[in-house]
Chains A and B, each alone.
Chain A
Amino acid sequence: MNNKFIKLFKKELLNIVRDKKSFLSFIVMSVVLTPLLITGISLLEKFQTDQIKNEELVLSIVDNVNSVESQELISFLENKDTLRILESDTPNIDLKDQNIKGYLEINSLEANLSIKYIYDQSSNSSTGSLIKVQPLIEEYNIIKRANILSNLGITEAGLNPIVFSTITLQEVENKPAQSSFILFFLPYVILIALIQGAAQFAIELTAGEKEKNTLATTLSINASRVTIGISKISAILVLSLFSLVLNIASLTLTFTLMPQSLMGQQGGEIGNIIIGFDKLFQIF
């Protein structure tokens, strides 16, 4: 059985490896596809983000409070060069018609102001406007808080008697971080990597035999059908593992070499991660 299995296994591998075009496409797909996809999606995301940043931010404001505080906030926003405020009696319609990217609704919440930003989730530019609006409101909040604290004779630092922070051993040693974050999506990567490369050969070794009329030839070999089947599965398994190694190597290289600017916040985390074998084993 063992001897027959090895001979058949070698025959299946030889049949695959000698098919230069298919084998080359297998290597290229495994090595190039993942980096291309990741780089492509990152570039697209960066392009969209840049587009949103460069776009003029047009907002409306619905002031339901009409107090001194709310007027202060409105004049703070009006003085900002990055946005333009449009008067609107029907902000929802203007938002739907894309005349504005969103609108701020000011309500009172006890002694404070409650500010809601209403935007259109079905529009990229409206959703993207959030990244411009939120910092402005936070900036105003910081200014107001600093004023309140100053009036009370307290400093920002005085409000935080204890400052807690963390530092990893890898940061101390100036090494890349090993994070369990990667464990979240690594199983999917492994699954795709296993299937991606070997799928074509799995088809070739099973349905392909019928297609090419070599099935009768294979069945006439003096070996049991179980041995023939196991040798085919083993050959596919070896190629799947090879595909996995290529994909993981390619993925690691991509995240290592890719410019940080392309990766965004989460990508930045991934870029500093090395995929250790201990992490791989933890998955299984």
Chain B
Amino acid sequence: MLEVKNLTKQFNRVDKKTKEKSRVGITDVSFKSSRGKIFGLIGANGAGKTTTMRIIANLTFPQSGEIFLNNESYKKIKNLRKRVSFVSGETQVYDRLTPYEMMRLFGEFSGLKNRELEEKISELSNKLGMNDFLNDTCVNFSTGMKQKVSIARALVTNPEVLVFDEVTNGLDIFASRAVKDQILELKKENKIILYSTHIMSDAEELCDDVAILHRGKVLDSGNVLDLKKKYKLETIEEIFFNLVKDKL
């Protein structure tokens, strides 16, 4: 289980036109995500989804709050990046390396032995349909191909936690479908999966549990079906608008 407790991280922002200063970021964000389920972090642009996801991926650090993985604090876990992988719609691959080299690099860093690593690369390459371009440098790849490579390098370390931050952004319908199918496959592997999106239909399709984030605060969180019963609404999108209508 992954438990996020009272995460806070604030930034100063200056409006270029009015020169007004404001504080943005996240405040007291808390939720729990279980194994074998997809936890969705949903909200509009600027809600604080990426900040939360990056803190969970250990790419940036909170000003206060704590994260626990299997009841162990992040602060006490060694080689945390071996156990948590991060993929984002914005995250790019190294243009001059091949998918094979990228997977080897990340695999070697997670301590995989040569034979084990080769098997893992072969398995992922087959699963993600990357055999045709496994040894080509990524420079001329399409966005979909690059996202496949990103997912492959995140999976090669066999992490317990997978953080997907708006991974379908900019993908065409086919690539988006392939990525979502892959995430559903990973759910069967009993991993802790976090998926952030502003596309409510994606959250509806993929997520078992959600937290609705607005202006850096969690408005509500829980099982999707339970939330629908609670608010007597049919879709996550309706729940979202119901929660944020007074705060617009």
Interface set of A (CB-CB < 8 Å, partner B): 4, 7, 11, 14-16, 18-19, 212-214, 216-217, 219-223
- The reply to whether B86 and A221 contact each other, CB–CB distance below 8 Å, is no
A222–B58 alpha-carbon span in the complex (Å): 11
A11 touches B105 (CB 8 A): yes
CB-based contact A216/B59 at 8 Å: yes
Contact with A along B126-152 (1 / 0, CB 8 A): 000000000001000000000000100
CA distance A4 to B94 in the complex (A): 18
**B157 CB–A CB distance under 8 Å:** yes
For A219, the closest partner residue in chain B by CB is B59
Q: Is the CB of A222 within 8 A of B79?
A: yes
Which one, A18, A220, A223, contacts B57 given CB within 8 A?
A: A220
Which B-chain residue is minimally distant from A211 (CB atoms)?
B92
* Residue pair B109, A213 in contact (C-beta under 8 Å): no
In the bound complex, do residue A15 and residue B92 qualify as a contact, i.e. CB atoms below 8 Å apart? no
Q: When the two chains form their complex, are residues A220 and B92 in contact, meaning their CB atoms are under 8 A apart?
A: no
Q: In whole angstroms, what is the CA distance A219 to B108 when docked?
A: 15
Contact surface of B with A, Cβ cutoff 8 Å: 54, 57, 59, 79, 81-82, 85-86, 88, 90-97, 101, 105-106, 108-110, 137, 150, 153-154, 157
CB distance from B232 to the nearest CB of A (A): 40
Contact B105 A18 (CB under 8 A): no
A223 to B108, CA, bound (A): 11
User: Which partner residue on chain A sits nearest B157 by CB separation?
Assistant: A222
Docked-complex contact A217 and B91, CB < 8 angstroms: yes
- Whether B96 and A212, one on each chain, are in contact in the complex, defined by CB atoms closer than 8 angstroms, is no
7 pairs, CB–CB < 8 Å, chain A vs chain B: A11-B97, A14-B101, A15-B96, A220-B81, A220-B86, A221-B81, A222-B110
- Please indicate the chain A residues that have their CB under 8 angstroms from the CB of B97 in the complex: 11, 14-15, 18
Min CB distance B122 to A, Å, is 21
Instruction: List 8 tightest A-B contacts by C-beta distance, closest first.
Output: A18-B96, A222-B81, A213-B92, A222-B109, A15-B96, A222-B82, A216-B91, A220-B86
Asked if B88 and A214 sit within 8 Å, CB to CB, the answer is no
* Closest chain A CB from B77 CB (angstroms): 12
Point out which of B59, B79, B153, B157 has the most chain A C-beta atoms below 10 A from its C-beta: B59
Q: How far is the CB of B200 from chain A (nearest CB, A)?
A: 25
B96 touches A14 (CB 8 A): yes
Q: In the complex, are the beta carbons of B109 and A7 less than 8 A apart?
A: yes
Verify B150–A217 contact, CB threshold 8 A: yes
- CB contact between A220 and one of B59, B94, B96, B108 (< 8 Å): that residue: B59
The interface residues of chain B lying within 8 Å CB-to-CB of A219 are: 59
In this complex, the member of B85, B90, B96 whose beta carbon has the largest number of chain A beta carbons within 10 angstroms is B96
Specify which of A16, A217, A222, A223 is in contact with B93 (CB 8 Å cutoff). A217
**B150: nearest residue on chain A (CB-CB)?**
A217
Tell me the bound Cα distance from A219 to B154 in angstroms.
12
Q: Is the CB of A18 within 8 A of B137?
A: yes
Complex partner residue of A216 from B88, B96, B108, B110, CB under 8 angstroms: B88
**CA A217 to CA B102, docked complex, whole Å:** 10
B91: which A residues are within 8 A, CB to CB?
Answer: 213-214, 216-217
- In the complex formed, the residue of B with least CB distance to A227 is B109
Q: Do A221 and B95 have beta carbons less than 8 Å apart?
A: no
Contacts of B82 in A (CB 8 A): 222
Give chain B residues whose Cβ lies under 8 Å from the Cβ of A221: 81, 105-106, 109
A108 to B142, CA, bound (A): 88
Residue of B79, B90, B94 contacting most chain A CB atoms (<10 Å): B94
Whether the Cβ atoms of B92 and A214 lie closer than 8 Å is yes
Minimal Cβ-Cβ distance residue in A for B80 = A222
**Which residues on B sit within 8 Å (CB–CB) of A217?**
91-94, 150, 153
Q: Given A216-B86, A220-B81, A220-B86, are A7 and B59 also a contact pair (CB < 8 Å)?
A: no
Residue from the list A214, A222, A223 in contact with B94, Cβ < 8 A: A214
- Determine whether the beta carbon of A15 is less than 8 Å from that of B109: no
C-alpha gap A185/B133 in the complex (Å): 51
CA–CA, A216 to B55, complex, Å? 12
Name B91's closest neighbour in chain A (CB-CB): A216
Task: Report yes or no: B110 in contact with A213, Cβ–Cβ below 8 A.
Answer: no
Q: How far is the CA of A19 from the CA of B82 in the complex (A)?
A: 29
Cα separation A219 to B92 with both chains bound (whole Å): 12
Instruction: Give, as a whole number of angstroms, the nearest-CB distance from A175 to chain B.
Output: 46
Which of chain A's residues have a CB closer than 8 A to the CB of B96? 14-16, 18-19
Known: A216-B90, A222-B81. 19 other contacts (CB 8 A): A11-B94, A11-B105, A14-B97, A14-B101, A15-B96, A18-B97, A212-B92, A213-B90, A213-B92, A214-B93, A216-B86, A217-B150, A220-B154, A221-B106, A221-B109, A222-B79, A222-B109, A222-B110, A222-B157
